[in-house]
Amino acid sequence: MKTAKYISLILILGALLVFSGCTRTANKTGPLKPYPEITNDIEIGEQIRGEGTRAELLGFIRWGDAGRASFRAHEQEHDLGGAVVKQSMQSAVYDALEGQPDHFIVDPHFHTVEHNFLIFKTAKTQVVGRKANNKNYRQVKRFNTDQTETLLLEDSPQTYTVSRNGREATQITTSGNITPVVTNTARVYDTSAGVQILDLDAPDDKDARVDIGSSMQQLETKMQELNRRIRALDR
């Protein structure tokens, strides 16, 4: 009788395992849409300091400070060492922030002492930075009403006005990433119609010499006209 009860219990447990292994959950969600582009202000506070330690034995036995916090640092600070060093840096940041999740560290500077004894590693890190938090979140407004993408300012065409003696001489349209050094050195040259290009490779014959002489005379006339315009602007 007891044997039959044991067999029945085993069968029930087996059935539960089989049916529990075959269950599945189906979820239906709407189309995935990216979050709108947002920006925010950063409120920077007082200087903070923290310290973190971490140790590792045989590559898998680890101990040290339990708290860790993420941070943004310079590229060379991410290359200071392996996992033990990085975890000690995270613990130092956590200690500096006193475990407050609504704050982060700005411009952190790390000082790490690492010891590597083949099977035993230790790292002690000190950090100095500024305490900060995000505030005034807001959406970046779109200036176009259609479905096209809004160009970033540095990618948008820019129009610069070039003046001579306080008067607008011309306008130049450039790419958005042009530097002020380039725009400040812009110069205006009058290239109105009528100025002909001299072909120095023209054949040396009488007709060619006449054409060259005529072109030189026209060029001289144009230069005189340009000088007259420049003197008029200087008045």
* Average pLDDT estimate for 218-231: 80
- Distance (Å, whole) CA 65 – CA 122: 12
pTM above 0.75, yes or no: no
pLDDT at 34 over 90: no
Tens digits of residue pLDDT in 172-215: 777 766 667 766 766 666 555 554 444 444 455 555 555 656 77
pLDDT at 40 over 80: yes
- Distance (Å, whole) CA 88 – CA 58: 18
- DSSP annotation of 37: P
Which of 46, 43, 129 shows the shortest CA–CA distance to 92?
A: 129
Which of 88, 172, 75 shows the shortest CA–CA distance to 122?
A: 88
The answer to whether the CB of 86 falls within 8 A of the CB of 21 is no
Q: Which residue has the tokens 């059935």?
A: 15
User: What pLDDT score does 51 carry?
Assistant: 93
Q: Quote the tokens at residue 110.
A: 């790390």
Tens digits of residue pLDDT in 11-22: 666 665 555 555
User: What pLDDT score does 130 carry?
Assistant: 92
The answer to whether the CB of 44 falls within 8 A of the CB of 130 is yes
- Distance (Å, whole) CA 88 – CA 64: 8
SS3 content of the chain, % helix, strand, coil (to 5): 30, 30, 35
Going from the C-alpha of 72 to that of each of 40, 69, 126, 174, the distances in angstroms are 17, 10, 15, 35
3 state SS of 166:
coil
User: What pLDDT score does 198 carry?
Assistant: 46
DSSP per residue over 185-204, as a string?
T-------TTPPPP-TTS--
3 state SS of 35:
coil
